[in-house]
Amino acid sequence: MKIEVGTVIRGHIVYGVYANAYCIASPIAQGGEYVVWHIGDDGASVWLGSYFPNQMDAEWAYASKCFPWFQDNVIISMDEDEDDDEDDTDETFEECPDIP
């Protein structure tokens, strides 16, 4: 059986498949771990799983495997309590002209 969204594997339900190379699955049992697996060449088996206690970490790992450029292009602010004196204006599109 080919691995696809909805496939149940070892107590997990697959909810994402990328290029028949990687899949991500959520635990069926409450309190279980999320997992990112490599899909075997036969398309019906998994190997080398990475297990995560929460969905966000699992999805981050999944996106990083599927899209190698992902980690290099994501900015994460680890310190949300930065100085209040700083200007919080988003300058992302400051140099872009307004679109009519």
Outline where DSSP puts E strands in the chain: 8-9, 12-18, 22-27, 34-39, 46-52
Summarised one tens digit per residue, pLDDT across range 8-65 is: 999 999 999 999 999 999 999 999 999 999 999 999 999 999 999 999 999 999 999 9
Q: For the whole prediction, is pTM greater than 0.95?
A: no
Polymer length of the chain: 100
Other CB atoms within 10 Å distance of the CB of residue 59: 16
- Checking if the pLDDT of 72 tops 80, the result is no
Which residues make Cβ contacts (< 8 Å) with residue 25, sequence separation at least 6? 9, 12, 13, 14, 15, 34, 35, 37
